[in-house]
Structure 1
């Protein structure tokens, strides 16, 4: 059971006294510009997992700092025209796992890209993308505080760049309609 320090009604009304840093938009604009200095180099290798109704591709693309990020792309086997894309990010502690764990969207007629979250996948689903951290400092176990002393070295800066690049990678696949999608 969750424990809260305020009653539910107060939580619903709560407005923290935190404001967005003045350089927030500039920070992310520069970060994404830096990401574009590396070619996306999205690669899609067909793999056979014995699924008759779904085509599966092992995906690799360049994420933050040009570091390779893994994923899966799943499509309905009958797909001949570009499909809308669903990009899915795995929750804390989980990795991309196996394609058989991600059949919902492709079974419903969508293309689906599942991004492997760097450094994760040891808790409840296998991961295949290491986190090559730069200048990280000591932190508590887990990822929330990894590199937290500086926005430049914070773990989630790398993850969010990977997430943007995952959308770009998915949109680059020929059977994906780059104009229709969801994350």
Structure 2
């Protein structure tokens, strides 16, 4: 994929007007208030991953509507407590995976809470009660005709509750909670940064779920193509679809976020086009920095992004 979006000089200034629903804040206040009426009811069970350098726990807690969400807590086996904690969110179609996949942050001296994505991955967290079959795609349009029933209302609420949970864990310093993720995970981290005031810093890589309408207009790649296909089949409901998506657009959350954020973007990314990433970044209300990877696609910086994140995060949490 060659450069297909705006030139970098224009991207740095690209700040489209926000087209958010009038009741955006009321919607999310009501959603989160309802979720917090349910006790977190955290279950933290030691898990033998045969990794003596870390402590691993299988974690379950109450998310949207009190429904149970799975997570891993991985922390260094030795060292002082409490620890800063990275709350890690996952890309589209993935789940929490296995503990050995999440050793970076404990190796750097952090705890990491790896939050499962309901209805995705291997099915540890069903989307809805009685629905134990994980989905690999199709979630972009699940319930999309009504913000009350849209899939990402449930997923974003789970993510906010995960930060609530992290702040209660004995191993975690509640004043040093970081949200992180790439692609869908980056979009979730961006949303939580705008919804939860306890977030100390945010690592937002090649974020998905941002500037939906523009994304469908300039890329044929999935998952945004799921929305395009739905609109093609439901020609009379296009505006209804984008009205719902207005409650979940990353730019609207970014405009409410105050924690320092480190973003990344790939200028050849046809999955999450760079103009959609910059649209949210340029609206981000807190201190921010953008790491640009000119010749990369949706992998963004990959392993090259980690050496950028580690010193930046060390400085934020000092």
Place the TM-score, normalised by the shorter chain, in its bin. Answer: 0.7 to 0.9
Mark the runs of 5 or more structure 1 residues left unpaired by the alignment.
134-140
Checking the alignment, whether the CA contact within 8 Å between 2:166 and 2:177 is kept in structure 1 is no
RMSD (Å), alpha carbons: 1.9
**Change in CA separation of 1:178 and 1:17 when aligned onto 2, cut-off 3 Å:** closer
2:72 counterpart of 1:62: no
C-alpha spacing 1:110/1:6, structure 2 compared with 1 (3 Å): closer
Q: Deviations for 1:39-93, whole angstroms, at most 9, x for unmatched residues?
A: 1111110011110110000000000010000000001001442111110001111
Residue matched to 2:110: 110
Structure 1 residue aligned with 2:164: 168
Match of 1:22 in 2: 22
Q: Which string of whole-angstrom CA distances, capped at 9 and with x for unpartnered residues, describes residues 101-141 of structure 1?
A: 000001111111000000011xxxx44111007xxxxxxx5
Structure 1 length as normaliser, TM-score? Answer: 0.86
Q: Residue 48 of structure 2 contacts residue 56 of structure 2 at CA under 8 Å; is this kept in 1? A: yes
RCO (CA 8 Å, sep 6+): is it higher in 1 or 2?
A: 1
- 1:5-154 residue pairs with structure 2 within 5 A? 13-16=13-16, 18-121=18-121, 126-132=122-128, 141-154=137-150
Give the SS at the match of 1:144.
helix
Q: Distance in 1 between matches of 2:59 and 2:21?
A: 35
User: CA separation of 1:151/1:113 partners in 2, compared to 1, >3 Å: closer, same or farther?
Assistant: same
Classify 1:33/1:2 alpha carbon distance in 2 versus 1 (closer, same or farther; 3 Å).
Answer: farther
Q: Work out whether residues 119 and 127 of structure 2, in 8 Å CA contact, stay in contact via their aligned partners in 1.
A: yes
The residue matched to 2:34 in structure 1 has which SS? helix
Name the structure with the higher helix share: 2
Count of residues in Structure 1 that have an aligned counterpart in Structure 2: 172
Change (3 A) 1:7 1:86: closer
Deviation at 1:16, TM superposition (A): 3.9
> How far is 1:9 from its partner?
5.6
Q: What is the alpha-carbon distance in structure 2 between the residues aligned to residue 35 and residue 3 of structure 1?
A: 43
Give the deviation of 1:36 after TM superposition.
0.9
Moved over 2 A (4+): 1-18
**Residues 1:156 and 2:172 are matched in the alignment:** no
